Amino acid sequence: MSNIISDLSLLFQRLTWLSFLDLILVTSIFYGLLQMLKDTKAMVLLRGVILLLLFLTILTTLVNLPAFNWIIKTSLPALLLAIPVIFAPEIRRGLERIGRAGTLFSIKPGKDQFEMQKTIQAVVSAATRLAGKKHGALIILQRNDNLREYIQTGVQLNAAVTAELLLQIFYPNTPLHDGAVIIVENELRAGACVLPLSASGILNRTPDRQMGLRHRASLGISELTDAIAVVVSEETGNISISHAGRMIRKLDSDRLENILNAFYRPERLTKISNNPFERFLGIFRGDKDDES
């Protein structure tokens, strides 16, 4: 015990502010990587790789196996080169989050607040009425990240956002009821849009299996962009909202409206616009943006 204490004291004596900064940087990198892999299938792969490396290290250390050791040492560089291929989706998603730091000043506080309020009320009214009839719906509200590539997959509408129009679009068996509608700057830009499905395993761990492609698409678009997705379940009539790879379920009309208003509060937009460092920190932690 005394040897351990002496070793620790010697370690702290050699610790300088540069060493401390070095430790913080390394810890931050590993924390950011783990945050990017959180709730994804890659986390299972990562655990498998770590367990395999531990097993091989212990085996090669305790037992003298020259041929086996040679194979392990030869194949290890190939394994390191394979890591970017195995974790390609997660690496891409992480780089896209970092790239959003370039849009720190793109939100204009106070812009068209009255029109945005009308849009939110139309979305809430439509979602509530669709939920009562158990008509499935997927409504996407664009924020900073441009959704042009997803808009191009659907039918161009360029119409004013009204509850009646949303109800008509998502009425069963109509031409546009499959897919998502995308709202850009208080305008319903397109319908029947195709969205990417979620790459995470969040929905696979839910206690009920009532969430299908609409919910997976809402999570998918929220993982790749900063858009807000409102989902109405066709099976249960429940209303959900997705943002930053997270989903809040079983919302009533009042809570849905409060959450949407929280995303577009003038004081919140001013805070984001004037504090880019805080916005940048939110990239790695998947900032919930007042959604809880």
Is residue 63 one of the residues assigned to a domain? yes
Are residues 220 and 145 part of one domain?
yes
- Give the CATH number, domain containing residue 254: 3.40.1700.10
**Average of per-residue pLDDT across 284-290:** 41
Q: Is the pLDDT of residue 106 over 50?
A: no
Question: How many separate domains does the chain show?
Answer: 2
**Cα–Cα distances in angstroms (integers) from residue 279 to residues 44, 259, 270, in the given order:** 29, 19, 12
pTM of the model: 0.61
Q: Is the pLDDT of residue 274 over 50?
A: no
**Average of per-residue pLDDT across 165-185:** 91
Are residues 125 and 14 part of one domain?
no
Are residues 261 and 161 part of one domain?
yes
**Average of per-residue pLDDT across 75-86:** 73
Are residues 200 and 65 part of one domain?
no
Is residue 162 one of the residues assigned to a domain? yes
What pLDDT sits at residue 273?
A: 41
pLDDT in tens, 206-215: 555 556 788 9
Q: Which of 71, 103, 135 is the last residue before a domain boundary? A: 103
CA distance 15 to 27: 16
**Average of per-residue pLDDT across 101-117:** 57
Are residues 136 and 51 part of one domain?
no
Is residue 290 one of the residues assigned to a domain? no
Q: Which of 70, 103, 136 is the last residue before a domain boundary? A: 103
CA distance 195 to 193: 6
Range of the domain at 155: 113-285
Is residue 200 one of the residues assigned to a domain? yes
Is residue 252 one of the residues assigned to a domain? yes
pLDDT in tens, 33-69: 777 666 555 666 677 777 877 887 787 777 777 887 7
What pLDDT sits at residue 163?
A: 93
Q: Which of 74, 103, 132 is the last residue before a domain boundary? A: 103
Are residues 169 and 44 part of one domain?
no
The phi and psi torsions of 199 (rounded to 5 degrees) equal -95, -5
Are residues 98 and 118 part of one domain?
no
Are residues 210 and 99 part of one domain?
no
pLDDT in tens, 216-273: 999 989 888 889 999 999 888 899 999 988 888 889 999 999 999 888 775 444 444 4
